[in-house]
Structure 1
Amino acid sequence: MSLPNIIFILCDDIGYGDLGCYGQKVIPTPRLDQLASESMRFTQCYTGSPICAPSRAVLMTGLHSGHTRVRDNMGIVGGVGEQKRVPLEPEDFTVAEMLKEAGYTTGITGKWGLGEPDTTGIPTRKGFDEWFGYLNQRNAHSYYPPFLWHNEEKVILKGNLDGQENDYSHDMVFDFACDFIRNNSDGPFFLYLPWTLPHGRYEIPDANAWDDKPWTDDEKVYAAMITKIDTQVGQIADLLRELEIKDNTLLFFGSDHGAARRWEPFGSCGDLRGQKGTMYEGGLRTPMIVHWPARIPAGTVSDQVWYYTDFMPTVADVIGVDAPDDMDGVSILPTLLGESQDIGERFLYWERFGGGFKQAVRWKNWKAVRNPSPLLLDEPLELYDLDRDIGEENDVAADHPDVIAEIENFMTDARTDSYNWPIGVKGSHG
């Protein structure tokens, strides 16, 4: 079989409970549910971070948030501009660079967040042949921006100048994605779709379908955003079928982290504690659908534990190249192919600095969380048994000193120091 096309759709702020196939009862998601029925759906997949930029860095580099270059949305020391954005550097090898070396045409459209203009971290300097969208995360908070970027050139959106709101950025991103697929249907191609939906600001051309609901305006727009995501994922699936490349396209669908709010009318976080920004399951666990009709058993639900460090090694395995030796992840290709794979006893690690230093570890059925402390590394760990307590309501650290000792021992060497995020220096982040 020829090398597969690879698509990764990364939504921004979708919660674990936002899709029908994950228990959503209020907002219909028929196309995503259909996709899940044709795919492998994961119940224990984790993002790279509970916030935007480091989660994307983990996905792109295969290094967890204690090793990757970008560890929070803004740096504490250094960084670019007033927001202190830290870019990827030339030595930060990305999955796009790996695929380009293997002969793939590579494209990205949406929100990048890993390099400001004229830095080493912009997409066309990190392995992407073509790119369209937002470089700066804060600019991406507006769906009617005055400009977007195409490769290294600004594209002025005249319909959004002087207070106008005519050019909805996400629809432009979606159109670019469809054009990229059509133009490269002979393959192989890699298309990374870090969509801005359903992140705030809560703006959408048409939320009228929900006018009769007793919800806030933001809730109505959020529901409309989920509907748009569902519709457009379905349209991408239809396009792949129309071009006769669906069977040999490996497609991932997930979120960069948990929902930004609990969104109580919808139960966006499901039974999970916390939300975006927290180290609890509601901040880290993501819906994940992986679709590859030629190879992946349809209608499969897997409880395999994995996270975004594993994407790059998995892709390397799929295309038959060696992943870099320093990867924190492992290939989950055996799991995707329906084979037995024993990776459940490894340690998964997260950290972030915004609002105080936080850490989390998943090991077997255990989840350890360290919340902010003035002294940063001496705060005791909380411990939860996820097999019995998915909502992380009962801290059992006192009952399991042996487990705490194992996790603390792992954490001793789990991370490396970062110039941009030094331990012991508190910064503000956003």
Structure 2
Amino acid sequence: MLLRFVFLSTLLCCLTGYFSPVSEAAEQKPNIIFIMADDLGYAELGCYGQTKIKTPHIDKLAADGMKFTQAYAGCMVCQPSRSVLMTGQHTGHTAVRANDLNQLLYEEDKTVAEVLKAAGYATGMFGKWGLGYAGTSGQPLKKGFDTFTGQLLQVHAHFYYPFWIWHNNEKRMLPENENNQRGTYINDLLHEDAMNFIRENQSQPFFAYLPYIIPHVELVVPEESERPYRGKFPKKQILDPRPGYIGSEDGLTTFAGMVSRLDDNVGELVAMLEELGIRDNTLIIFTSDNGGQGGTWKEMTDFFNGNAPLRGHKGTMYEGGLRVPFIASWPGKIKPGTTSDLQIGFWDILPTFAQVAGTKVPEGVDIDGISFLPTLLGKGTQEKQKYLYWEYTKDKIRSRALRRGDWKVVQNRMNQPVELYDLGKDIGETKNLAKQHPEKVKELTKVMQQAHTEPRDFPQNLKPIGIKGYVK
């Protein structure tokens, strides 16, 4: 009898240990956090060569993980770039191909959030969406996200002190920002909700998509972020030409403060993961939705060498509009201090995250992406893209570009000549080699034509709420 009791007691202890939280944590799927800045240039981080703006937390993320030198956004402006990210399809195939409030995701457009949710992940999104507004099939809660705080329309994400913001399907009112008051800096609220989501879901696998709106203009940030830079740069007034937008009397200082505030957000996030004991089981990606800003803000971008050594800026198909900083950190999985020159694009995110989660892209869902998990882990054979393709299509206006190997073609308008560059020898795209290599132009132009499918015929009678009624 005594031996039987001892045996049963030992068995019970073993079973209790087997089903304990520690054992469950050991078997839990990896958490995934995707942080995406807005309009952050390729060289506006210290780890990519920035010397005037301090980004110690993001730099440490790179030092602890892998930095990509040839990573590309989905497009050269925000809305189509985000569509590529969500669907795993480049802009020759994805639904949204322009900054156009009428372009959005439909029910049949499967997203990375839907793939991860089906794999047992809690999913949360905090920031700029741009792929479907209230009452449409493209809302975040209809595209795989359990919870959402942010802006449905990209134009709403231009403002840092609005008097309301979306939380799930309801408006969260911010009376402290009414009548031009500056009570709540909206990116702080997005960050706070993201942190709370992670705390609440720490005991299960989660996907946190954090498309923060910094450092997209408006050019404004709380004083404590500007203070470290005050007096260090030439004082330049940088005012937004659009009515109702906040500008800055000390624009260079304000911009540097915005980037540093984003860096602080990253530092707080990593510190919380360590405090919760889940840092080692969390893959963090940090990137930007497109290149650094031009236009009214080109002088600012040039002062900080924000896109150096690349040509162009946001809104162009040159490298300065498309190539972005891209950092991956996963303790114990990604070797610290590594650099990769693998050519990847936003369409590669969906299959990569699916593989991280131990699942597959659903049958019948066509994507252009290839998982780069073998590169992250330094294991297995890395399949490479045959080419990278981008287009911007709105009405009858289309610009496009394609990279294959070191060759890149750019066509700024369909009625303009195709330009040819050798990025292996000319990263700044200074020498157009089209006349010297007409056969290469012809060859790559044919590939561009094959990469393009006709865009969706969106109805033009949709009427999303504009800027009026959101601020001021």
Same structural fold, with TM-score higher than 0.5 when normalized by the shorter chain: yes
Tell me the residue number matched to 1:81. none
Q: Percent identity?
A: 46
Tell me the residue number matched to 1:347. 387
Work out the CA distance in 1 between the residues paired with 2:107 and 2:384: 33
Contact 1:345 1:364 in 2 (8 A): no
Deviations 1:379-402 (Å, cap 9, x if unpaired)?
A: 331111101000000011222233
Q: 1:66-215, aligned counterparts within 5 Å? A: 66-74=92-100, 84-206=101-223, 207-212=226-231, 213-215=233-235
Contact 2:103 2:458 in 1 (8 A): no
Work out the CA distance in 1 between the residues paired with 2:416 and 2:117: 44
Tell me the residue number matched to 1:413. 450
* Matching residue within 378, 400, 406 for 2:437: 400
Contact 1:71 1:421 in 2 (8 A): no
Letter in 2 for 1:209: P
Structure in which a larger fraction of residues adopt helix: 2
Q: 1:8-407, aligned counterparts within 5 Å? A: 8-74=34-100, 84-206=101-223, 207-212=226-231, 213-216=233-236, 217-261=250-294, 262=298, 263-324=301-362, 325-339=365-379, 341=381, 343-344=383-384, 346-353=386-393, 356-372=397-413, 376=414, 379-407=416-444
Go from structure 1 to structure 2 and tell me whether the alpha carbon gap of 1:345 and 1:21 turns closer, same or farther (over 3 Å shift). Answer: same
Show structure 1 runs of 5+ residues with no match: 75-83, 423-429
Letter in 1 for 2:330: W
Work out the CA distance in 2 between the residues paired with 1:51 and 1:242: 36
Tell me the residue number matched to 2:240. none
Work out the CA distance in 2 between the residues paired with 1:19 and 1:331: 26
Work out the CA distance in 2 between the residues paired with 1:396 and 1:344: 25
Work out the CA distance in 2 between the residues paired with 1:54 and 1:202: 23
Work out the CA distance in 2 between the residues paired with 1:205 and 1:345: 43
Go from structure 1 to structure 2 and tell me whether the alpha carbon gap of 1:409 and 1:343 turns closer, same or farther (over 3 Å shift). Answer: farther
Question: Relative to structure 2, which stretch is displaced further, 17-26 or 392-401?
Answer: 392-401
1:405 Cα deviation (Å)?
2.7
Letter in 2 for 1:14: L
Go from structure 1 to structure 2 and tell me whether the alpha carbon gap of 1:203 and 1:420 turns closer, same or farther (over 3 Å shift). Answer: farther
1:162 Cα deviation (Å)?
2.1
Deviations 1:30-56 (Å, cap 9, x if unpaired)?
A: 111111000110000000000010000
Deviations 1:338-370 (Å, cap 9, x if unpaired)?
A: 136454561111001369310000100111100
Question: Secondary structure of 1:264's partner?
Answer: helix
Work out the CA distance in 1 between the residues paired with 2:457 and 2:228: 45
Tell me the C-alpha RMSD between the 2 structures: 1.7
1:421 Cα deviation (Å)?
7.6
Contact 2:74 2:91 in 1 (8 A): yes
Contact 2:370 2:384 in 1 (8 A): no
Letter in 2 for 1:119: T
Question: Secondary structure of 2:280's partner?
Answer: coil
Tell me the residue number matched to 2:245. none
Work out the CA distance in 2 between the residues paired with 1:46 and 1:144: 31
Work out the CA distance in 1 between the residues paired with 2:452 and 2:80: 14
Aligned residues: 410
Work out the CA distance in 1 between the residues paired with 2:293 and 2:195: 28
Go from structure 1 to structure 2 and tell me whether the alpha carbon gap of 1:116 and 1:264 turns closer, same or farther (over 3 Å shift). Answer: same
Question: Secondary structure of 1:93's partner?
Answer: coil
Show structure 2 runs of 5+ residues with no match: 1-26, 237-249, 460-466, 468-472
Work out the CA distance in 1 between the residues paired with 2:218 and 2:367: 35
Contact 1:85 1:116 in 2 (8 A): no
